[in-house]
A and B are shown apart, each in its own frame.
Chain A
Amino acid sequence: MTRAASVRRVGVRKWAGALIVVAVVSGAMIASPLLEHPVQAQQSWEPQPQPQTWGPPAPGAPAYGYAPPPPFDPARAAMEATQDAQADENGALWFFAGCLLGVIGVVIAYVADPTPPPARLMGKSPEYLAIYMRTYQSEGRSAQVRSALWGIGVVVILTVVLIIVIVKSEPSMMTY
């Protein structure tokens, strides 16, 4: 085997190694959101009931203590919680937590319980509240973890690219 062929083989092996790392990280980043949606799996795809009309009691109806509660819709509670959690999540914060703190940032994102503003819980039934809170925190945590993983992923990719650039810019070390 010639020396040139041997050098080429080493270069190809390094490139393949770098590509595998990038592929694994990218794959994890794509797959992670799919693994983090236990709530969505519980949602029903059956036709939804008519939207609730919440408002003051009808004229003549007794007020405090006797207002008929609005019909409870678990799918709606879960959907609203999911949307609220996604809207409330501070993606930039958790992205940078992942970038700067790495795995620790992801752990913090997983441990930190996101909480909705209390005004959102006013006038909701206990069943709604239980599902809303559970879904909100589950979805909010997933979103936090996702953003932190993106942070780590970007840092890993940049590091790999940087290493490749450095290795490629020093051909003398590879050939001799």
Chain B
Amino acid sequence: MAASVVVASTWPAAAMPGPPAAPAVSLSASFILKTIDAQGTDTVSGDVSFIPGGEVCVAVKTPVVQEMRLGRRELVIYYPAQDLAFVAHFEPTQPPPMLDALAAGIVDPGSTLPSESKLLEQKRENGNLVTRWRVVVGGTETGEMRTVESRAGAISIELSEKSGKPQRRFAFGDRIRVGTHSVPRTIVADYFAAGGVQKREEQWSLADVTKPDPRHPAQIGCARLRPQTKIQTLQW
């Protein structure tokens, strides 16, 4: 799947040079995101759309109305109330920012890895397929990825350092089929600092997952700027 190229560029910290191909993912859903970290718990809700061509648009409704467009060369965060936008541009060699947890839940885990990665093991366990990959970037082993998949899609993905300490862990809840995609309704993403200390947890809940009509894609939250919009540049 072409979207996996986008994910791979940020996910296993594998900077893959060159612009990725246009992904075919076309989905929209409403979401609630709870982020738990040392500062406490934040809850954000809104709508998210995967646009064919590689963009992800987010319309945040609470706590602050905000539109976010994540493209392959540009990140735009737009505040309609103030008509103010923060814009970051990326070099072609830079990995574009991505909502990792969502991307990990939608694309095929194996296809997210750099092409040099090696399959270590594949076996059946309790009716699920367990796969281990050695993640290799630029000829250097950076760690390991372990996935557990059912027939419906991935149940969990774990990325660990070479030393075995976890880097990221994604656990997916029950899935629904939308077009050709299997989309999890819930995602729990745990992020770890170097050394394996947990630093953040994201809990995503998706609802109203639909495949937009390709002839009339409702691009909600895609941060369309107007000529008079105030623009501030973000370094990225």
Interface residues of A (CB under 8 A from B): 51, 54-57, 63-65, 67, 69-70, 76, 79-80, 83-84, 87-92, 113, 115, 117-126, 129-130, 133, 137
Contact B194 A92, beta carbon cutoff 8 Å: yes
Interface residues of B (CB under 8 A from A): 32-33, 35, 37-40, 42-46, 58-66, 68, 70, 75, 77, 79-82, 84, 86, 88, 97-101, 193-194, 199-200, 202, 232, 234-236
Distance to closest chain B CB from A20 (angstroms):
34
Contact A56 B232, beta carbon cutoff 8 Å: no
Please, which residues of chain A bring their CB within 8 A of the CB of B33? Answer: 119, 122-123
A113-B235, A113-B236 known; A121-B77 Cβ under 8 A: yes
Main secondary structure of the interface of B (DSSP, over half): strand
A117-B97, A118-B75, A123-B62 known; A56-B68 Cβ under 8 A: no
A90 and B13 alpha carbons, distance in the complex (Å): 11
A92 and B143 alpha carbons, distance in the complex (Å): 15
Please, which residues of chain A bring their CB within 8 A of the CB of B35? Answer: 119-120
A50 and B64 alpha carbons, distance in the complex (Å): 19
Q: List 12 A-B contacts (CB under 8 A).
A: A54-B42, A54-B62, A65-B65, A65-B80, A70-B64, A92-B194, A119-B35, A122-B58, A122-B60, A122-B66, A124-B64, A130-B86
A51 and B39 alpha carbons, distance in the complex (Å): 10
A133 and B77 alpha carbons, distance in the complex (Å): 12
Contact B62 A57, beta carbon cutoff 8 Å: yes
Please, which residues of chain A bring their CB within 8 A of the CB of B86? Answer: 126, 129-130, 133
A113 and B199 alpha carbons, distance in the complex (Å): 21
Please, which residues of chain A bring their CB within 8 A of the CB of B200? Answer: 87
Please, which residues of chain B bring their CB within 8 A of the CB of A51? Answer: 40
Distance to closest chain B CB from A55 (angstroms):
5
Please, which residues of chain A bring their CB within 8 A of the CB of B43? Answer: 54-56
A67 and B40 alpha carbons, distance in the complex (Å): 21
Distance to closest chain A CB from B153 (angstroms):
21
Please, which residues of chain A bring their CB within 8 A of the CB of B46? Answer: 122-123
A83-B38, A119-B202, A120-B35 known; A125-B194 Cβ under 8 A: no
Contact B194 A67, beta carbon cutoff 8 Å: no
Contact B42 A123, beta carbon cutoff 8 Å: yes
Contact B79 A126, beta carbon cutoff 8 Å: yes
Distance to closest chain A CB from B134 (angstroms):
19
Please, which residues of chain B bring their CB within 8 A of the CB of A76? Answer: 39
Residue from B35, B65, B80, B84 whose CB has the most chain A CB atoms within 10 Å: B65
A70-B64, A115-B236 known; A56-B38 Cβ under 8 A: no
Please, which residues of chain A bring their CB within 8 A of the CB of B97? Answer: 115, 117-118
A90 and B167 alpha carbons, distance in the complex (Å): 11
Distance to closest chain B CB from A147 (angstroms):
10
